[in-house]
A and B are shown apart, each in its own frame.
Chain A
Amino acid sequence: MRRIISVLMENEPGALSRVVGLFSQRGYNIETLTVAPTEDETLSRLTVTTVGDDHKIEQITKNLNKLIDVVKLVDLSEGQHIERELMLIKVKASGAQRAEIKRCVDIFRAQVIDVTSTVYTIQVAGTSDKLDAFVQAVGDAAILEVVRSGVSGISRGEKVLSI
């Protein structure tokens, strides 16, 4: 099962490499990984998506918690949550294709953020599934370049991950 684990950790040199190292060292897989400082600049927030059964996920969270730099973490997939990923995608857009692509952009509530006579650069935000669907809708033939941010997530409602 796919899980989204959100980690608050010390914003220290080496902290990220310890997290990444843990995954490779113990044979856990990383599907996406994002990290950036929070409003409190001593803390970073890291989101990792991974797949595994309950036993594996339990081991992952326990071992992450053991890292000295990790302050707190939550498996967002255990509760109601919101996930978002950002994609920047450059597609061929000339002739009849141009209108077709624009329609796709509207359907997915994406935005064209840069234009040339032959190329659209589009920004799409949403769940990873939605981004996958957009890529499919546009079709391989049209795609020139895809950049995805990896998943960020947050719990719904009152629940917060903070110290």
Chain B
Amino acid sequence: MLSGGDMLIRSLQEEGVDVVFGYPGGAALHIYDAIFRQDKVKHILVRHEQSATHAADGYARASGKVGTVLVTSGPGATNAITGIATAYMDSIPMVVISGQVPAEKIGEDAFQETDMVGVSRPIVKHSFLVQNASEIPEIIKKAYHIASTGRPGPVVVDVPKNTVNPAETFPFEYPKKLKMRSYTPATKGHSGQIKKAVSMLMQAKRPMIYAGGGVVLGEASDLLTELSQKLNFPVTNTLMGLGAYPGNDKQFVGMLGMHGTFEANTAMHHSDLILAVGARFDDRVTNTTSKFCPNAKIIHIDIDPASISKTITADVPIVGAVDSVLKDMLELVKESKETPDETALADWWKQINEWRERHGIYTQPRYNTEGDKIMPQDVIKTLYEVTNGDAIVTSDVGQHQMFAAQYYLFKSPRQWINSGGLGTMGFGLPAAMGAAFAVRDKDVVCVTGEGSIQMCIQELSTLTQYGIPVKIVCLNNQALGMVKQWQDMVYDSRYSEIHYEDSLPDFTKLMEAYGHVGIDVHKKEELREKLEEGFAMKDRVVFMNVYVDPSEHVYPMLVAPEGSMRDMWLSKTERT
């Protein structure tokens, strides 16, 4: 016989949960007592509930498993909201358990009462309010199932205090199977549609494979790579899809979209067939939808039917799990009597390579390498080399994020962890912490800005407590750089509220106060050496504070509004 609280924790154990990120409080006290009386589920005490959600999110993105969060009611629950929204936008599997005031007090404006199910409703895949203790095992089972299957997403389980009362006990049995008549995510794609798609692939003259985060989430990178290479088609990844196709392969033309490469965006615009895989034609990719890829037919594979033909109409929609659909496609391609149009492809590659040579960011530096300032692009390139391209890289939001996305050539999925959909500053450090719990044998590095890092900087203390040696590389440009870039480009450099005057902390001293190491990098010549020094300290948290050229912009940049994908700024003065 177990109490509701014990059943809750036992259920987490049954789900194979090894770590929970959380923060206690009144409504969650019974649950925390249940945590105390066991040792299978490890609890990590963060310093702010927002970080608990980002850490669970980073854990989920790095491992492919569901991240778990435990918070108390009221302020604990509302502090978790930003992280839930972040996970929702990027379809990250997460279960958030929130304490709630006792059922009989709900609706009375009780102390620390917030309608968590109501507040979180638009940013969750689903939510549960526990009514009776006896339902706890089944609800937990459902929560993990829903979070991790189909298009993944966060699930909230709100637990009124009376349902976890230690005085009331129940027989515990964890359900083996689930019956959910109203939830049946798509699996296999429609074979007729797949056949049709394959014959279109064989006829394409200027094809593009446009792969997004769905390939990472759907564990389909190997299949995508095999198919792309079998066809010899150019591949571009979205910001969320980086690593889904090896970034250092010659068929990879770089990221597309707002800050995508010239060759990826231009090739998309001129293509005659787009194979979209686990991508959602986000506005940061398409630019003006009415001008999007005017000559392209579109094959769209996604597990979520609502993502298909939402902003851009698909000619061949295929609803299904990306791995299953790509597998079927690959088989058909192998069996097919038809082969890709080699002459057309040779011409297409010639054209793409010419674009690469002309304005590509990988063929020659597209930034000033002459001056004595450290260029942010060089920091990422050096980071790539110092870490052998093997690190797990998390990022915050801003210019540094885009430089990391452009210049760190991610070789494998789950290596690049960023808040793509919501663009949450403050995500990077706690996400790195979560990733470090999932992956022990790799460097985990957070690329951040001096603005973003201060949004969840309190987690430096959590890193101390649990001895988690993440590395932090701060592209310190002394400003909210991305906002500054827009103010330069759109507001005649009227810098509204993007500087901190002289208020930035001495990061090195701050690190020392937390028991970590800080390294300042001022000079170009010392960049590599200092990064090497930082990464050599395997078991320490090291903050590498790199002073970069504060006037640098991220390019290419799509021209908006009204631009198509081929309309880009290539530097402060050049436009396509």
Q: Which residues of A pack against B, CB within 8 Å? A: 9-10, 13-14, 17-18, 21, 25, 55, 58-59, 62-63, 65-66, 68-71, 163
Contacts and interface: CB of A to CB of B under 8 A. Distances in A.
Given A14-B127, A17-B118, A17-B121, A71 B306 contact: no
B97 interface: no
B272 interface: no
B310 interface: yes
A13 B129 contact: yes
Contacts of A70: 182
B183 A68 contact: yes
Given A66-B306, A68-B125, A163-B181, 10 more contacts: A9-B182, A10-B182, A13-B129, A25-B122, A62-B306, A66-B304, A66-B305, A68-B126, A69-B182, A71-B181
Interface of B: 117-118, 121-122, 125-127, 129, 131, 146, 180-183, 304-306, 309-310, 313
Contacts of B310: 59
Cβ-closest 7 pairs across A and B: A62-B306, A71-B182, A68-B126, A25-B122, A62-B305, A63-B306, A68-B183
Nearest to B150: A66
A63 B305 CA distance: 9
Contacts of A163: 181
A25 B180 CA distance: 25
Contacts of B121: 17-18, 21
Contacts of A13: 129, 131
A53 to B, nearest CB: 13
B309 A55 contact: yes
A66 B151 CA distance: 10
A21 B117 CA distance: 12
A71 B309 CA distance: 23
Contacts of B181: 71, 163
Nearest to A10: B182
Contacts of A66: 304-306
B116 to A, nearest CB: 11
Given A13-B129, A14-B117, A17-B121, A59 B306 contact: yes
A140 B425 CA distance: 56
Nearest to A24: B122
Contacts of A71: 181-182
Contacts of A14: 117, 127, 129
A9 B313 CA distance: 29
B146 A68 contact: yes
Contacts of B304: 66
The residue among B121, B127, B306, B309 with the most chain A CB atoms within 10 A of its own CB is: B306
8 contacts: A9-B182, A10-B182, A13-B131, A18-B121, A62-B305, A66-B304, A66-B306, A71-B181
Given A14-B127, A14-B129, A25-B122, A65 B305 contact: yes
A138 B181 CA distance: 48
Nearest to A72: B182
A58 B314 CA distance: 13
A125 to B, nearest CB: 31
A9 B117 CA distance: 18
Contacts of A25: 122
Contacts of B126: 68
Nearest to B307: A62
Contacts of A62: 305-306
